[in-house]
Amino acid sequence: MVLEKFILAAITTNPAKIPSGTAVFHCEDKKEMEIIAANLEAILDGIAHALTEELYVIVKH
């Protein structure tokens, strides 16, 4: 089976909102979250999507 879209990682500043079943990166603030998201985007070949102000996901398309 080929998955067309898949969440590779989640980056969040709000520990209460963490999703389960995927790699989660906790961050202190928004700035750190953006840096980690940018790096993960490049490393994982995915796109960083903003779900809310405090939760980003990296999705492979």
Partner 1 sequence: MSEYTYPILFGLAAGTLTRIYMLRTDYRQYPTYLHGKIIHVALGFIAAGLGTVAIPSIMEEEFTAITFLTLAASQFREVRNMERNTLTELDSYEMVPRGKTYIEGVAIAFESRNYLVIFTSLLSTLGYLLFNIWGGLAAAILAVLISKKLMSGGRLKEIVEVEFVEPRFDGAGLYVDNIYIMNIGLPERQEEVLRYGMGFILKPKNFNARSTIANLGQRQAILHDVSTALGVYRDSGTPALVPLAKRDLDDGRVGVFVLPQEKNINKAIKIIEAVPTLENAIRMPTERQTNGKGS
Q: Contact at 8 Å (CB) between 44 and 59?
A: no
Q: Does 10 bind partner 1 (CB under 8 A)?
A: no
Rule CB under 8 A: choose which of 9, 12, 27, 46 binds partner 1. 46
Q: Closest Cα partner for 61 from 53, 52, 24, 48?
A: 48
> Of 2-10, 20-28, 35-43, which segment contacts partner 1 by CB under 8 A?
35-43
Coil, strand or helix at 31: helix
Min CB(38)–partner 1 separation in Å: 5
The Cα 51–Cα 60 span in angstroms is 15
Which residues would be at the binding site for partner 1 (CB under 8 A)? 34, 37-38, 41-42, 45-50, 56, 60-61
